[in-house]
Structure 1
Amino acid sequence: MFDRLFYREKGLFLQSFHPATVLVYLLVLLILSLIYDHPLYLLALFLLLALLIREVDGLDAWEGFLKAGVFLMLVVMMVNPLVIRAGKTIIWHGPAVPFLGKLDISMEAVYFGAASSLRLLVIISIFCLYNLMINPDKILNLFSGVAGKSVLVMTLATRLFPTMVRDLQRIREVQQLRGVDFDTGNLWQRAKKYSGLYNVLLLSSLEGAMEIAESMQARAFGSGRRSVYSRNILRPRDFFCLGGSLLALLAAVWGLRYGYGRYSFYPEADFLIKDGTTLAVLFIVLFYLSVPLILSKGWKHCRFLKSKI
């Protein structure tokens, strides 16, 4: 069940970027999601992320992230109108409540809660895309030359939970093939069945730790300068993606300087589209952010482009 939330190598184009490229791209997306207030801009980022997650074949994993995100979204949308009283357009006059005063819900407060919830969904989707696009070991290897031992500890720590989940699922399947039914019996009987399951998991984890230690010793870890088995190479696709990310960030900063991307909720909500420049800036930012998506489509359908990037 949890296995789909972790990185899985699928041989997809979006998984072939240099880890530094992916970090820069996702960082730009995260920055834009934090500095943009305009609901239309946040919605556009959310739709772009949906297309990217679909392209990396991660809709199942995204569903798990969205379940938690939608719950938090509903909480924000319900709580915000009750505590924010700055809006002018009152849509419901409520009773007086001790310590809170009169509960007057304004349209601006509901609007602000919805926009904040949308921002939350965008941020959650960015982290989901991170899990789907890049192997965490490659990210940590970027810093291995600076702090090799610390990176090793972090690598082992980040692999601990996914490895235990996979081992637990594998052990459970083996036990079921031997006739063990974990869903039948009373509470005590099921507890005994699961205790045997966790005993095997503990033994498997200890054996895995011994194998890692033996492997490190066989590779003479810590005896000298660290060697590298494989290197990540910057390819044309990485330069295109990096260029698009930086241009999108520059276009966004330029637009924010002139008020495009900002939005005022209180005391009265602004117009969603003030003029054509609002849409023009949004289109430019989205175009540059869509470079990985465009390259992925071209890589699938154009042999010439596939040979060049």
Structure 2
Amino acid sequence: MTAFETYHPIVLFAFFLSAIGIGMFIMHPVFLVITICAAMSVNFAFRRGRFLRDWKLYVPLFIIMAIINPLISHDGKMVLFYLNGNAVTMEAICYGVAMATMLTAVMLWFSSYNEVMTSDKFLYLFGKLSPVLALTLSITMRLVPRFQHQLMRIARAQKTMGMDYTTGSLIHRAKCTMRIISILITWALENAIETADSMKARGYGIGKRSSFSLFLFEKRDGIMLGMISFLVALLLTASALGYATFYYYPTFTAINWSWNSITVYAIYTALLMIPLVIEVRETRKWKYLKSKM
């Protein structure tokens, strides 16, 4: 367990809601660089070896997303070359890279979220407001990492049987890929049936449910929640004033490097690096205590 996970669930949820919410709607290049760097750092701190393993999927996905935009969008003034009579512009390429960066960062944040915000924490926050909605959202949040893990298991098992989708002819790869997808869908349907039977056997839905938790809202949780809220309020104000605005079409707008803009960039960095700062602080504290033993 990491040090950040020991905070109250509402603090954890507030942080990831802020990081994902702001990261999804701001396409400013400086903000994107801060977002992807912070997302990678936090994900590595939470997941270690699994972080490096998952990049086998993130890198091809990033490249595909970055290439699609200049192929379908031909807006922009800086024409680099023509492909089948269609202009490929610098603005379209940069916008595609920006979109790929944003989506990759959001996926990394969701991966970190699933590592920290377990189902019991989520149900603790929203179970009393809407038990059905809380359970549905909790199951949905778990689908992506579970599907990803099962997909890798199936691919490895098929590889040992000579059905490697990364080698051979195009037809062979297509057959292997379709076989893996078919197995994954079958597993998903069987898992859904097992989950439904398990919930029915435990009496779900026949009466008012009770819950038990050991989550206590302490002074440090209040301080951290107040800090996150304050930083988010500053960023929303700065965004309303135009400090997070950047246009790619019809051509690039200038990046503002005034002291006010740099302050906004620093505030955004401070918000996203909160988990990493907590981890570093607790690690140093632990090493200091060990040295005194």
Q: Which of the two has higher C-alpha Rg?
A: 1
Structure-2 residue corresponding to 1:124:
107
Structure-2 residue corresponding to 1:49:
39
2:225 aligned residue (242, 245, 261): 242
Whether 1:90 aligns to 2:79 is: yes
> In 2 relative to 1, CA 59–263 (structure 1 residues): closer, same or farther, beyond 3 Å?
farther
1:142 aligned residue (125, 129, 147): 125
Structure 2 letter corresponding to 1:85:
H
Structure-1 residue corresponding to 2:59:
70
Structure 2 letter corresponding to 1:49:
A
2:21 aligned residue (13, 18, 31): 31
Tell me the CA shift for residue 138 of structure 1: 2.0
Query: Taking structure 2 as the reference length, what is the TM-score of the superposition?
Result: 0.70
Tell me the CA shift for residue 185 of structure 1: 9.7
Q: Match of 2:126, SS?
A: coil
Structure-1 residue corresponding to 2:2:
12
Report which stretch shifted further, 106-115 or 253-262. 253-262
Gaps of 5+ in 1: 1-10, 170-181, 187-197
- Are the counterparts in 1 of residues 23 and 32 from structure 2 also a CA contact under 8 Å? yes
Report which stretch shifted further, 27-36 or 266-275. 266-275
Q: Match of 2:233, SS?
A: helix
> In 2 relative to 1, CA 147–262 (structure 1 residues): closer, same or farther, beyond 3 Å?
closer
Higher helix share: 2
Tell me the CA shift for residue 29 of structure 1: 0.7
The number of aligned residues is: 257
Q: Match of 1:241, SS?
A: helix
**In 1, Cα distance between the equivalents of 2:63 and 2:77?**
23
Deviations 1:94-136 (A, max 9, x none): 25x4xxxx21111111111111111111111111111111212
Over aligned residues, Cα RMSD in angstroms? Answer: 4.0
Structure-2 residue corresponding to 1:107:
90
**In 2, Cα distance between the equivalents of 1:287 and 1:149?**
35
Tell me the CA shift for residue 266 of structure 1: 1.7
Question: Identity of counterpart residues, as a percentage?
Answer: 20
Query: Taking structure 1 as the reference length, what is the TM-score of the superposition?
Result: 0.67
Structure-1 residue corresponding to 2:182:
none
> In 2 relative to 1, CA 41–157 (structure 1 residues): closer, same or farther, beyond 3 Å?
closer
Gaps of 5+ in 2: 154-158, 164-185
- Are the counterparts in 1 of residues 62 and 100 from structure 2 also a CA contact under 8 Å? yes
Tell me the CA shift for residue 225 of structure 1: 5.5
**In 2, Cα distance between the equivalents of 1:153 and 1:256?**
33
**In 2, Cα distance between the equivalents of 1:229 and 1:134?**
17
- Are the counterparts in 2 of residues 241 and 292 from structure 1 also a CA contact under 8 Å? no
